[in-house]
Structure 1
Amino acid sequence: MKVLEFTPPVPKEDSVVVDEDILPYFYNYFHRHRQLQITLILRGEGTLMAGNYSQSFKPGDVYILGANQPHIFKSDSSHFNNPDKLNAHAIHIYFDQDRIPCPFFHLPEMESISNFLSTTQNGFQLPSQYQNYVSRIIKKLPIKSNLDRLLTIIKLFDYFAKQVRGWKSLDSGLSNTLFSESEGLRMTEVFQYTLEHYAENITLNKIAEIAHITPHAFCKYFKKHTRKTYNTFLNEIRISEACKKIINSNHDGISTIAYSTGFNSATNFNRVFRKTTGMSPRDYIREYKNKASLYTN
């Protein structure tokens, strides 16, 4: 398994490609492609990994993923239990800037768009207050002609550059260039194993075995490529899963969430949760409920 080179499924290469997925689960491989990607999640939940950054995703989310940024939308395990059910629905837009002559982006009218595109290497999540407007635009793209798609995307980039504030960065400090083809095999196996077994007691010896190196070498290797310890990365995955359980009300209390996501005590869970999110689990629940009431009223 490695960081796969992915080609958008189209009969011919255009500068803008729109692909609508309605599937049992999302594309299940850590991959990258030369096109910038915009994704609107319409149905399905899981974990997004971009580089070594991770967080949960849910319906309504809109993401920008940079050109050649390794990523995976990993569906929740429940999506794999019933392969006949279409749990995943998303619209993906692939924008190939290299197919547009450079002088076009040097026009004075394109300055703000060019500046915005230069910042997308590590990806963004669109703030929630802009989701409805952007979603309406994206949903209309599959039926538009090739030229209309390009013009719409240019206008959308202009909106992103001039109107949107408070982008959430998907950058955790990892340079995309660190994922060479040869190293993609090892890092992807580590990421995939962690996503599938985060609730278990993953020892250093076990994860080093997955990476096919000694525990001491693994600690140095992982820190070099991610600028964080494996334990920090594992805790981020666990807290991301805990947040999903909180949002889905899929729990009987804080202690239940703690043990179901791999923590050995509620005290340790509370400490790591606060360190990762900047608030306690109870404050997170309160804030989520407050936001939910604003959108439903």
Structure 2
Amino acid sequence: MKVLDFTPPVPKEDSVVVDEDILPNFYNYYHRHKQLQITMIIRGEGTLMAGNYSQAFKPGDIYILGANQPHIFKSDPSHFANPDKINAHAIHIYFDQDRIPVEFFSLPEMESISSFLNTTQNGFQLPSEHVNYVGKIINRLTTRSNLERLLTLINLFDYFSKEVRGWKSLDSGLSNNYFPEGEGVRMNEVFQYTLEHYAENITLNKIAEIAHITPHAFCKYFKKHTRKTYNSFLNEIRISEACKKIINSNHDGISTIAYSTGFNSATNFNRVFRKTTGMSPRDYIREYKSKGNLYSN
């Protein structure tokens, strides 16, 4: 995917910027920026891609994305059907660590924060039990002055480093997620096509045609840049969409979910779902119902 260099709409002198998006859909380009990003999803759903990792996102999710980590919050296709409707609402915090003197993070009082920041390269999702507390702080940041934002964010990093355990990593095992400009254009076409046509029968010949190379060359190319096969990536996107349907109770049964997300049988769907999520679809449904995230049938 083409990685655009994105500059947050902020004054050059600010080290912490808070940007609130209230739009028909989220920013629709795979991009990166030098600032660490914290994002809280308030409205909207879709697929988060960070590096070569992907998963569904939904309201209430809070993510940390590392500096220069390529990413996109790809809105659900339904969000594009009515461009006049507000489908996407999120608060983004951008932190430019390069604007803070190195000596500051070398202070003994900053040891735990520095250690935490050094682990954010590939991104995290905040565990659900911390969402309410952190969400209130993020909301307050929208009304704070420049200095107050910096001090509040440092306190938040301190909380992350000392109180939060069980972070969900957004790392798929590929440590360097940088795509050169030429390769990025090709990956952009492959990823965008997959996100838009995942429910269809995407053959190797078809996706290789999208990439403008031969099927054999495509297999080697995709594996080189993502360390996974294209079929594995496609299945991850399909399971991500299936999880969204489960969370939203947007289904009439497991077989319906299987066929609507591109699987040719419920058996194959169950196998891939368990391999990807670590549990069966029925166990996944029960888990969300037990947490009160789903309505009973």
TM-score tier, shorter chain, comes to over 0.9
User: For 1:126-145, what per-residue CA distance to the aligned partner results, in whole angstroms no more than 9, with x for missing partners?
Assistant: 00000000000000111100
Tell me how far 1:182 sits from its aligned partner: 2.4
Q: Which amino acid is the alignment partner of residue 98 of structure 1?
A: D
Task: Tell me if 1:47 matches 2:47.
Answer: yes
Query: 1:55-94 residue pairs with structure 2 within 5 A?
Result: 55-94=55-94
Q: Which amino acid is the alignment partner of residue 264 of structure 2?
A: N
Q: Give the structure 2 partner of residue 134 of structure 1.
A: 134
Unaligned runs of 5+ residues in structure 2 are none
What SS does the corresponding residue of 2:243 show, helix, strand or coil? helix
Q: Give the structure 2 partner of residue 161 of structure 1.
A: 161
Task: Tell me if 1:21 matches 2:21.
Answer: yes
In 2, Cα distance between equivalents of 1:70 and 1:48? 11
Query: 1:114-263 residue pairs with structure 2 within 5 A?
Result: 114-263=114-263
In 2, Cα distance between equivalents of 1:293 and 1:281? 15
In 1, Cα distance between equivalents of 2:112 and 2:59? 29
Tell me how far 1:255 sits from its aligned partner: 0.6
Percentage identity across paired residues of the two chains: 86
What SS does the corresponding residue of 1:40 show, helix, strand or coil? strand
In 1, Cα distance between equivalents of 2:230 and 2:119? 27
**Kindly tell me: are residues 13 and 200 of structure 1, through their superposed partners in 2, closer, same or farther at Cα, counting changes over 3 Å?**
farther
In 2, Cα distance between equivalents of 1:177 and 1:261? 27
What SS does the corresponding residue of 1:37 show, helix, strand or coil? strand
Q: Which amino acid is the alignment partner of residue 154 of structure 1?
A: I
Q: Which amino acid is the alignment partner of residue 9 of structure 1?
A: P
**Kindly tell me: are residues 98 and 293 of structure 1, through their superposed partners in 2, closer, same or farther at Cα, counting changes over 3 Å?**
closer
Tell me how far 1:177 sits from its aligned partner: 4.8
Tell me how far 1:178 sits from its aligned partner: 3.6
Do the aligned residues in 2 keep the contact of 1:66 with 1:121 (CA within 8 Å)?
A: yes
TM-score by length of 2: 0.97
In 2, Cα distance between equivalents of 1:278 and 1:233? 17
Q: Which amino acid is the alignment partner of residue 96 of structure 1?
A: D
**Kindly tell me: are residues 235 and 108 of structure 1, through their superposed partners in 2, closer, same or farther at Cα, counting changes over 3 Å?**
same
What SS does the corresponding residue of 1:205 show, helix, strand or coil? helix
Do the aligned residues in 2 keep the contact of 1:123 with 1:169 (CA within 8 Å)?
A: yes
In 1, Cα distance between equivalents of 2:20 and 2:62? 14
In 1, Cα distance between equivalents of 2:210 and 2:92? 32
Do the aligned residues in 2 keep the contact of 1:178 with 1:225 (CA within 8 Å)?
A: no
Tell me how far 1:219 sits from its aligned partner: 0.5
In 1, Cα distance between equivalents of 2:39 and 2:241? 21
TM-score by length of 1: 0.97
Q: Which amino acid is the alignment partner of residue 39 of structure 1?
A: T
User: For 1:216-267, what per-residue CA distance to the aligned partner results, in whole angstroms no more than 9, with x for missing partners?
Assistant: 1111111111111000000000000001101111111111000000000111
Tell me how far 1:187 sits from its aligned partner: 1.2
Q: Provide runs of 4+ in structure 1 moved above 4 Å.
A: none
Task: Tell me if 1:272 matches 2:249.
Answer: no
- Segment drifting more, 54-63 vs 3-12: 3-12
In 1, Cα distance between equivalents of 2:195 and 2:243? 15
User: For 1:79-108, what per-residue CA distance to the aligned partner results, in whole angstroms no more than 9, with x for missing partners?
Assistant: 101111111000000000001110000000
In 1, Cα distance between equivalents of 2:127 and 2:27? 24
How many residue pairs match? The answer is 294
What SS does the corresponding residue of 2:239 show, helix, strand or coil? helix
Do the aligned residues in 2 keep the contact of 1:70 with 1:176 (CA within 8 Å)?
A: no
- Segment drifting more, 176-185 vs 161-170: 176-185
In 2, Cα distance between equivalents of 1:36 and 1:257? 36
**Kindly tell me: are residues 177 and 246 of structure 1, through their superposed partners in 2, closer, same or farther at Cα, counting changes over 3 Å?**
closer
Do the aligned residues in 2 keep the contact of 1:173 with 1:226 (CA within 8 Å)?
A: no
Q: Give the structure 2 partner of residue 96 of structure 1.
A: 96
In 2, Cα distance between equivalents of 1:267 and 1:109? 54
Do the aligned residues in 1 keep the contact of 2:247 with 2:293 (CA within 8 Å)?
A: no
